[in-house]
A and B are shown apart, each in its own frame.
Chain A
Amino acid sequence: MKKSLLFLLLSCMAVLTRAQTRTVSGKVTLPENEDAPGVNVLVKGSNVGTATKADGTYQINVPAKGGTLVFSFIGYKTKEMEVGNQSTINLSLEPDLVNLSEVVVTANAIVREKKELGYAVSTVGGVELTKARDPNLLNSLAGKVAGVRISQQSGTVGGSSRVMIRGANSISSASEPLFVVDGIPISNSSFNNSETDIVTGGVDVGNRAGDLNPDDIESMTVLKGAAASALYGSRARNGVIVITTKRGKTGAKKMNVTVNSSYRSDNVLRAPELQEQYAQGNLGVYNPQLGNGWGPKVSSITGPIKDYKGADVQGLQVYPQNWKNFFVTGHTAINSVSLDGANDQGDFRIGYTNLRQTGTVPGSEMNRNTFAINAGKKITDKLTARAWANYVRTTSDGRPQQGSNTTNIIATILAGTPITVDINELRDNLFAPSTQAVPTGWTGDLARSIDLNGVQNNPYFVTAFNRFSNTVDRVFGGTSLSYDVAPWFNVTGRVGTDFFTENRRSVTRRGTRGRLNGQFDTNDIFERELQTDVLGTVTRKISQNWGFKGIIGHQFNQRTIRRSRVQSEGLNIDQLYTFANAQSNVPSNFFSRREIFGVYGDFSFDYKNYLFLNVTGRNDWSSTLPVDNNSYFYPSASASFVLTEAFPNLGIVKKDILSYAKFRANYANVGSDEDPYQLSFTYNPLTQASDIYTFNILYPIGGASAFGATNILPPTNLRPQQQTSYEFGAELKFFGGRLGLDMTYYKTLNYDQIISIAVPQSTGYSARRLNVGEISNRGLEAMLTVTPVRTRSGARWDMAFNFNRNINRVESLAPGLQEFIVTSGDGFGIFIAARPGETFNIQGVGWLRDPNGNIIINPTTGLRTPGPRKLLGPIYPDWTLGINNSFSYKGFDFNFLVDIRKGGVINSQTVSIVRGSGLAAETAVNDRTPFIDPGVIRNADGTFRPNDKTVASVQQYWSQLDNSVSPENNIFDGSYSKLREVRLAYNFPKSLVNKTPFGSIALGLEGRNLWIITSNVPHIDPEANVLGTGLIGEGLERGSIPSSRTIGANLRVTF
């Protein structure tokens, strides 16, 4: 491979000559009579070029005679001007509504024209990201890029967002795309991915891509297929989000100063609809020991009675808004300032951003400071150096727990708070009054409980004292050195790293009900990724019609994770969270490192600038695979054909009916490695023994430590995992760009996956690791753009429809294996299951049904009967559609985005809990008159008759529908439509700005996640998911912090 490349390089060599020159200058303007800074000015057929300054002026050397200048600017039509004898050339650029010359940053920071690419990419520009700034950058992509699905996991401050591109590619790991910043991969880990962590009160700690600062980002390009994986390696098989950070730009002054300030406020988007009549109790009998709404009507309670505190009262009062009143308005302030500048010799940019956020859960807050620097210098004509670095420090405190099984789950407490409890009284009185139940032998402060039994904590006690805090210190960046060996041959070396430490601490105060003696958990995480690249690039014209670009490179990648954790229990002194103050400390630690060497080549040919061919190949050597089988090669090929440039004389092209038509196709194969340390039979030091009730017994016990042999039978003859994919696409523009369609059909097959396949537990092992299983995705992405209004005065209305349909299918599992549990929500009574021929489904106990599908009712109770486990519905949507409308006129820019999801299901345990506790509004209808549940009763002869048995009580009916009996009634169609984003931006006109000290002023108003237009899920936001970003699966909700509705304003000025 390499030899043939060398041959090619040598055969392409040529000699360049230099000529005498003279100078031309001028000014470029835009149609709105604004100055056009940053326009590329190039002498046609040469490498000589410059860019206009902030006032639109330029100066360039041209050959002594003749010559043509080419002016190009993204979004505007490229213009060629004959120089002739002129020494001054002024011109105005016209908007290019067809966007032919869009450039895209692809793999390894290589810039390509979009039309060259044989695969689908989408770019979201930085302006788009800073007009409405979300603390988690990924949320800004929601609904805007075909084939990309972003789901915000919770309303936790700094909460995580999940990204999925073109469906799940693995049944053993989350199919997260690779994030690359300026050519260096960065981590998007969350370290919140153990199932146990999530079941027992996990915290949404956010995902590390959320550290990225929108203000420092020039553009985000989404590479959806695997075609770019030659240059990025295996991880690119799930798609790549290529992020380019801002660099200094040439301006009117030596230095540009930009200040951008945002303020946002968050409120809970949706709170459960609760009943406002019934007190706590059982079967209509008042009982202050309980946290529910199954008592009598509050209005019917008279005379002396004990309330939830154990105090004697004469009657009770209804506090209907407890849930809503608990949450507060969150505030976010984002302030950034940047300095940048550039000249012929180099460029620099320094940015600083401060983000301060408080959440809707009282006392939750996050603080983020970001420093960015990016500087390049032309050392000689041939040698360019660049260095960039980002330092991010994120601190957060008071992130709430979600899930179940501890008494700290806010949403669960609220779902059990009787309506006779005044939430404001809880807020003002954190501790238990003497009248409330106290555990035997307990002395000292104790959390007030919402029930006289003393089971559930005061939610304000939890938010005040039982706090999760974390600090992340992160640096990512790199340096590169680029040398032009010859005008057609460049060699670039690059070293980059991303590393962070995260320190977490979760404390539970003494006196917390359920954790009386207090505890704390200290978790230190270090992660580092290091990558080096050396690549040579050859750009040559082979003949008049054929061009060539070739890249060969070498890459080394190393990833290290180090964790240490101490779980401490039993505090001697209240609120002193030191190891020495704990009666028990269980430390554990973990280290992992993996390395990959890769060698790659990427060769592109173009014919007359309308036909483009690209082939790539890469070979990797991975440290995680068996030494004898650790090398794997993977190729790709793609082609792009621009019909309108090949046949410019076609009638419809000439008439501008078909303004642009490009067709593309590609095929790619990607091999990939395995997690480290999976090859040997090992013995694990144990920290705890556990059962499903999570009363972990900690080692050492009675002085004895313990080990266990691995529960996963190690693999033999392991091979690399494989993915093959192909896609076909077309980009079509009609009527001068007023109508556009960009569509892609793709198919991906993943096989030879390395999976721990369940074996019968009676073998003594839970799984065997081997190459097995096939999973496929095929789908259609379509982006339709329409410009219904476009006037000379600048008024414009654009619509973009962004459609995505992905069909995910498990093609096969191991022979004989009927089902693979992808993620166990065992504690929730549900699983995410993969079965051959199906996509991932929620699996759980379903109701017993007759052959016609009617629910079989127990004739003695009138209640439904749990049946066998079954698939309860697919977790992924059938299709999604984003509809964006944008209107612009004279500096005003208004747009709104509607996001639609169709299909897929969600299991909500919050719904189960509020119904089971008798607090949901629907449990109070019809004065709780017992009714007949529609269904059938089995007759003695095996036939069925309609149910005629009335349930004994409404309470029994709703309790029976609890998730732990059968999740079926808490499974809902996940379809929804949402008003995702509304934005109004105003750019103050030049004429006005000129009277101020500013260079430009832009004002924006924004709203996000504003309105659930339609949803089939009661009580909660249908987008919630408790599994976070690390686990496979969506559609499981339990005790989630409700999502927020955000409204904000933004002011951006430059000096």
Chain B
Amino acid sequence: MKKLIFAVLLAFSTTACFKNSDINIDPNRSTSVDPALLFSGAATQFSLLRVAELTWPVALMNQMWASGGRWGLAQAQYDQTRVRSAWGRTYTDVLKNLAVAVDIAQSAQPVNKNAVAQCKILMAFAYAQTSLLWGDIPFTEAATGKVDFPKFDKQQDVLNGCVAMIDEALAMIDPAGKGIIAPNDLYYGGDMTKWRKFANSLKMRILFSMVDADASKGAAIGQLMASGNMISSNADAMLFKYFNQPGRQNPRFSFTAIFRGGVQSDWYCSKPVYNLLVSLKDPRIPYFYQPGPAAAANEYIALDPVETYTTKSALVNMNLLKADLPEVSFSYSEQLLFEAEAIARGFAPGGFEAATTRMRAGVRESLLSFGVPAAEANTYANGLPALNAANFKTVLAQQQYLDLFMRPVEGWVQHRRSGAIGQEIPAMTTPTGAPVAGLVRRLLYRSEEVSSNPNTPAGITLDTPQWFDK
């Protein structure tokens, strides 16, 4: 009996090793993946950040919209706590996954060139956006997991790098071949011709953000204009679609639905924008705004950034916050207005007449996109002053800013590049109670990055201009 028991004990103890066992192989996750699946995740996350977390805080601190103090006045006073996850999610959920997808597509046999191109174009978009929000950012050493403390690259290096990345992508595009297709390509369904147009347009947008600080980019813009192949119709626009289905709705709609029981009571009409619209007799007013619940029909009462709302305060129109509106990454009107600017500034030939034509076309498209009837849009566009050397900066900048009314990320870039410090169009003043004297010119690095990456630049304040901001 004793012997038996000892034998049993010894036998038990030798079984315990887990050699050749599959018990610790994760049944919930995979060790391999198709890059298309990484792309759709990265694209959805990227769009969500643009349309939600990077919309309201940016729109409020830049006076594109007014908060009415609905969530406290800090919103308009450059409160950074409302942009908490965009930095991290852009790197971990967008850029990292795209980088991994590129690696997988590149090591496929044969190389999935179109997939590489699609991922790189989106990466360039995301890096440029991140830099234009924060300034110097990790780029060359970022999102690989190989460098523990990525260095912060200068903004000009990041933006030049983005242009180079787009060029690499363009070189790999094969319109006849297959890359990431529907449903995983949520933008263009795998149409590589459209991807090429978007890549060129995106490149132009990045160059425009640089040209005030680096005049040589004017020539590059001219070359792009000459070779064409950019977005040339509404069908080419870069859009991320949302659907009127639960969980797939545009978050701008869900926000009101979740927090406000479906009644818009958060985003108010901001004075600098409203005053500009009034001065231009712009027909977009009733399309941008809806009167407050206690206001008369067509009574639009705008708010200063730190003014508390009343029941008469006008609100951002619920029609612009619909469940199935897409997130716009690049629109046709934006393209036309860029082209007008390129011509007006002499980067491309044609002179002010051609620039005026292009501007009026762009403004018409812009008005149509907000729902203004065609006749009214035509009248307004045609009534805009012809561009000349004296007025083109102001007239174009006004229209470019208004065109981006629902796109605060691009709207903020447009505002900062619209004039020298203090001369931006439209004019704005620092909100009462803001922690700095000037207008907000950047986001502050997130505490997660500051506390874990010793390379994070210090001593930068909210009104320190970025390199591009001249």
Contacts and interface: CB of A to CB of B under 8 A. Distances in A.
Interface residues of B, number: 108
Contact of A698 (B15, B41, B95, B248): B248
A536 B4 CA distance: 12
Interface string A858-882: 1011010110010000000000000
Given A282-B310, A686-B41, A762 B100 contact: no
Interface of A: 2, 6, 282-283, 287, 289, 405-407, 437, 439-440, 442, 449, 453-457, 483, 485, 489, 491, 513-517, 519, 534, 536, 552-554, 556, 569-570, 582-584, 586, 589-595, 597-599, 621-624, 627, 630-631, 676-677, 679-686, 688-711, 713, 758-766, 816-819, 821, 826, 829, 845, 858, 860-861, 863, 865-866, 869, 959-960, 962, 964-965
Contacts of A457: 261
A683 B263 contact: no
A437 B310 contact: no
B263 A858 contact: no
Nearest to B45: A689
Nearest to B52: A691
Contacts of A679: 24
A866 B74 contact: yes
Contact of A621 (B18, B247, B449): B18
B308 A282 contact: yes
Contact of B99 (A711, A764, A817): A764
A759 B93 contact: no
Interface string B178-204: 000011101000000000000000000
Interface string B304-337: 0000101100000010000000000000000000
A695 to B, nearest CB: 4
A686 B33 CA distance: 12
Contacts of B32: 683
A879 B63 CA distance: 51
A684 B27 CA distance: 11
A609 B264 CA distance: 80
Given A536-B9, A597-B15, A690-B48, A682 B247 contact: no
Contacts of B71: 964
Contacts, number: 322
A491 B432 contact: no
A455 B49 contact: no
29 contacts: A406-B258, A454-B260, A536-B5, A569-B246, A597-B13, A599-B16, A627-B19, A677-B26, A680-B31, A683-B33, A684-B28, A691-B85, A694-B258, A697-B247, A697-B248, A699-B41, A704-B186, A706-B40, A707-B33, A709-B33, A761-B92, A761-B452, A762-B143, A762-B453, A818-B451, A860-B432, A964-B71, A964-B72, A965-B79
Nearest to B53: A691
A18 B337 CA distance: 110
B353 interface: no
Contacts of B246: 517, 519, 569-570, 582-584, 698
Nearest to B252: A695
Nearest to B82: A692
B92 A764 contact: yes
A597 B16 contact: yes
Contacts of B25: 677, 680
Contacts of A631: 16-17
A681 B148 CA distance: 17
Contact of A763 (B91, B311, B435): B91
Most buried by B among A489, A693, A858: A693
A47 B441 CA distance: 87
Interface in B69-126: 69, 71-74, 79, 81-82, 84-89, 91-93, 95-97, 99-100
A761 to B, nearest CB: 4
B21 interface: yes
B293 interface: yes
A634 B25 CA distance: 27
Contact of B24 (A437, A485, A583, A677): A677
Given A679-B24, A680-B25, 8 more contacts: A440-B318, A454-B262, A677-B25, A682-B29, A684-B29, A697-B248, A762-B137, A826-B85
Contact of A826 (B21, B26, B84): B84
A590 B184 CA distance: 25
B52 A695 contact: yes
A697 B44 contact: yes
Contacts of B137: 762
Contact of B16 (A621, A682, A684): A621
Given A287-B311, A860-B432, A439 B40 contact: no
Contacts of A591: 27-28
Contacts of A700: 183
B257 interface: yes
A514 B23 contact: no
Nearest to B16: A597
Given A6-B6, A762-B138, A962-B72, A693 B251 contact: yes
Contact of A677 (B28, B147, B184, B293): B28
Contacts of A709: 33, 38, 96-97, 100
Contact of B84 (A491, A569, A589, A692): A692
Contacts of B454: 816
Interface of B: 1-2, 5-6, 8-10, 12-13, 15-19, 21, 23-34, 37-38, 40-42, 44-45, 48-49, 52-53, 69, 71-74, 79, 81-82, 84-89, 91-93, 95-97, 99-100, 137-138, 142-145, 147-150, 182-184, 186, 241, 243, 245-248, 251, 254-255, 257-263, 265, 293, 308, 310-311, 318, 432-433, 435, 446-449, 451-454, 456
A519 B246 CA distance: 9
A590 B27 CA distance: 8
A691 B49 contact: yes
A140 to B, nearest CB: 38
A689 B148 CA distance: 26
Contacts of B30: 682-683, 685, 707
Contacts of B265: 289, 453, 455
B303 to A, nearest CB: 13
B458 to A, nearest CB: 12
A965 B40 contact: no
Nearest to A598: B16
A583 B245 contact: yes
A621 B144 contact: no
B254 A584 contact: no
A405 B259 CA distance: 7
A680 B72 contact: no
Given A2-B10, A570-B246, A760-B449, A704 B184 contact: yes
Contacts of A765: 92, 96, 145
Nearest to B92: A711
A860 B261 contact: no
A962 B5 CA distance: 68
A683 B31 contact: yes
A627 B23 CA distance: 11
Nearest to A848: B435
B38 A708 contact: yes
Nearest to A713: B145
A76 to B, nearest CB: 38
B9 A595 contact: no
Contacts of B150: 760, 762-763
Contact of A442 (B81, B149, B262): B262
Given A406-B258, A686-B41, A584 B248 contact: yes
A485 to B, nearest CB: 6
- Closest A-B pairs by Cβ, 10 of them: A439-B262, A597-B16, A764-B96, A698-B247, A706-B41, A569-B246, A703-B183, A513-B261, A764-B143, A760-B453
Contacts of A699: 40-41, 44
Given A442-B262, A514-B257, A623-B21, A965 B74 contact: yes
A705 B432 contact: no
A960 B75 CA distance: 12
Given A689-B41, A689-B44, A455 B452 contact: no
